Amino acid sequence: MLRIDVSARRPPLPAPARNRPAGWGCVAAAVFATWLPAVGCAPPGGIRITPVPVDQSLEETEVYRDDGWVTDKIALIDLDGVLVNDTPSGLFESGEHPVSFLVEKLRAAEADATVKAVVLRINSPGGTVTASDLMHHELLAFRERTGKPVVAFLMDVAASGGYYVACSANVILACPTTVTGSIGVIMQTVEVTGTLEKLGVTTDAITTGPHKDSGSPLRKMRPEERTLFQNLINQMYERFIKIVREGRPLLSEAKIRTLADGRVYLAPLALEAGLIDGIAPFEDAIATARTLAKSHRVRVVRYHRPLGWQPTWYAGSPVPPAEAAAASWVARAARLFTSGPTFLYLWRIGM
């Protein structure tokens, strides 16, 4: 167990009012609110209108402050959900481009001289190979440019690509119940020839080479194609091993390879294996960042879009209804697995 003196810890305080005013579309909202009931579209109980700021630049909210005179800050950055190099869109999903959003927050932390360290809170089963690699690269580049330490704190799940990104941090801490590991690569494909036969449907492809349609769901995979894909998977796996080796220098390559068979580990086993540095409550992640930054008193701040006010460091984005969340995952999984072969650093039960 990694234990650090956190005697200066205090309960999180409500965040102060924002310093930067936002431009609001109040006139349009007022007109819309007046017009809608008149045409008979208002539901029982009325309509709630939420003006949206024109300027969507990141804002900063303080979620914790030590007692006394405080100037130094620790930036708390969350990394949630499936890591893709794409902007979610569709009937049940909308949101930020995960890679771009992370870079935007890192730039804000870099530009602020009073930010002395970053706590990266990860709750992700991983995602695509490239998205995971880009995030890892951006965090290492941030550390190199600024000299500011990064502490990774693993939440419910930080597996596969989530763990890949964590390896960019100076220190990795986890909750006692965190699931992590799953070091490996998967390429998931589908094959629907049996269904097409029952429907009386035949398909054909005209290509410029024998491997142009490799991985097509419309025919069975040939042995030589499987060999080609396996070679690609092996190369990506070797890069994962390299990333873990660089991020966990106390682990030998041989040891990493014994751990990297795709399985996940509960935090105590991950600690015993050397995949993480400690099991601790979240306050210790802040205390560790404070120690690495050599700051005696700190403020903890978060970056968010306007209207995304967070009262404490445990607060997060509004959680959608279970049905919408499930539909969002189905939609994203459908894109990953039906748009063609996709290379993934991803852990998902039953996949």
Summarised one tens digit per residue, pLDDT across range 314-349 is 455 434 444 444 444 445 544 554 455 567 777 765
Say which residues have a Cβ less than 8 Å from residue 257's Cβ, sequence separation at least 6. Answer: 241
Question: Coil, strand, or helix at residue 120?
Answer: strand
Q: According to the model, what pLDDT value does residue 11 have?
A: 42
Q: According to the model, what pLDDT value does residue 191 have?
A: 83
Which of 57, 212, 220, 294 does the annotation list as catalytic? 212
Residue 265: phi, psi to the nearest 5? -130, 135
Q: Which residues of the chain have pLDDT under 70?
A: 1-56, 88-94, 307-342, 348-351
Which pair of structure tokens corresponds to residue 68? 């006394």
Which pair of structure tokens corresponds to residue 204? 């054909």
Q: According to the model, what pLDDT value does residue 281 have?
A: 95
CATH domain 57-189+251-346 topology: 2-enoyl-CoA Hydratase; Chain A, domain 1 (3.90.226)
Q: According to the model, what pLDDT value does residue 326 have?
A: 44
CB 313 within 8 A of CB 282: yes
Q: Indicate if 328 belongs to the active site.
A: no
Confidence (pTM): 0.76
Say which residues have a Cβ less than 8 Å from residue 209's Cβ, sequence separation at least 6. Answer: none
Q: According to the model, what pLDDT value does residue 15 have?
A: 44
Query: For 215-273, what is each residue's pLDDT tens digit?
Result: 888 888 899 999 999 999 999 999 999 999 999 999 999 999 999 999 999 999 999 99
Which of 160, 182, 214, 328 does the annotation list as catalytic? 160
- Quick one: how far is CA 139 from the chain centroid? 13
Residue owning tokens 């220190």: 171
Q: Indicate if 148 belongs to the active site.
A: no
